[in-house]
Structure 1
Amino acid sequence: MDSMVNITGTWLGTYWQMGKPTRFEATFVQNGNVLYGNILDDGYLGEATLQGEAVGRNIKFVKSYISTTKQRASVNYNGTITEDENSMQGRWDFFGMLGFENWEAHRNEENLEDELRKYITVQVPKNVKELEQSSTR
């Protein structure tokens, strides 16, 4: 029996279209096998919602762009999650209409740590020495 993967969290990724990479940030929320969340493209299409499922190490989801200026484009993503659950890769397509292209993503641990550090730096009181002594038991 495949142990349940959990991909909840922030991921950084890239998808390729006609050889050109577009970076994106995805936030996945996983509940059992069900996935939902959102994606922000570093491109003119911008923000999208996602909905899909992760079964074993297989992932599939539909990305739907929110933009109201154009038709709500939906993109189909399929892929595989690595055993350490820290990266995934696969193919995406407009439901088979324009052929298949590659995408990949990895967990955004580094960024989270940076954010945390910024937050901690802001919160640190004046008497840091005192604080450090109390924390080194």
Structure 2
Amino acid sequence: MADVNGVWLGTYWQEGIPTRFEATLVQGGNALSGRILDDNYLGEAQIEGEVVGRSIRFTKRYLTTSPHQVAYTGTLAETADYMQGQWRIGVLHSGTWEAHRSNEDLTADLKNRLEQQIPVAAGEAVLPG
């Protein structure tokens, strides 16, 4: 199963106009949740969905600006660092989207730092500098 935990940077297109977004995704088993911040007036949204194999599906709900739910479907690359697909609002509005992992993988950075702990005394550790 693909692991999509972390920060993703992406773009979706509506009527040929690109909108950038930043998504923070949290995956537990197949369940997916998180937040997306669009780089426009629509602002922040919550997402809920699932990841099955390399398929991803979620619904985006804006917190304040729009009552419409946006359905996203897509496919993850084998390397799990890129995804792309389609979005849809009802039957009238749709477009494409894509996202790639941000280089700022805070979880991996924390894990790396914890693995590099240097023991000082029994039961104590200090992170390198």
Please confirm whether the aligned pair reaches a TM-score higher than 0.5, indicating the same fold: yes
Residue 4 of structure 2: SS of its match in structure 1? coil
Find 1:30's aligned residue among 24, 27, 30: 27
Deviation at 1:73, TM superposition (A): 1.9
User: Which residue matches 1:91?
Assistant: 86
The answer to whether the Cα contact below 8 Å between 2:22 and 2:38 also exists between their aligned partners in 1 is yes
Give the Cα–Cα distance (whole angstroms) in 2 for the partners of residues 58 and 73 of structure 1.
Answer: 23
User: Which residue matches 1:54?
Assistant: 51
Using the aligned pairs only, state the percent identity.
52
Residue 100 of structure 1: SS of its match in structure 2? strand
Q: For the structure 1 residues 33 and 40, does the alpha-carbon distance in structure 2 shift closer, same or farther, using more than 3 Å as the test?
A: same
Larger Rg over CA atoms: 1
Find 1:17's aligned residue among 14, 26, 32: 14
Q: Partner letter of residue 41 of structure 1?
A: D
User: Which residue matches 1:119?
Assistant: none
Deviation at 1:100, TM superposition (A): 2.8
Q: Between Structure 1 and Structure 2, which shows a larger proportion of helix residues? A: 1
Give the Cα–Cα distance (whole angstroms) in 1 for the partners of residues 28 and 105 of structure 2.
Answer: 22
The answer to whether the Cα contact below 8 Å between 2:49 and 2:59 also exists between their aligned partners in 1 is yes
Give the Cα–Cα distance (whole angstroms) in 1 for the partners of residues 71 and 10 of structure 2.
Answer: 15
The answer to whether the Cα contact below 8 Å between 2:74 and 2:84 also exists between their aligned partners in 1 is yes
Q: Paired residues, what number?
A: 108
Give the Cα–Cα distance (whole angstroms) in 2 for the partners of residues 71 and 15 of structure 1.
Answer: 17
Q: Which runs of 5+ in 2 are unaligned?
A: 110-127
Residue 41 of structure 2: SS of its match in structure 1? coil
Q: Between Structure 1 and Structure 2, which shows a larger proportion of strand residues? A: 2
Give the TM-score normalised by structure 2: 0.78
The answer to whether the Cα contact below 8 Å between 2:12 and 2:20 also exists between their aligned partners in 1 is yes
Find 2:71's aligned residue among 51, 76, 79: 76
RMSD: 1.6
Q: Which runs of 5+ in 1 are unaligned?
A: 117-134
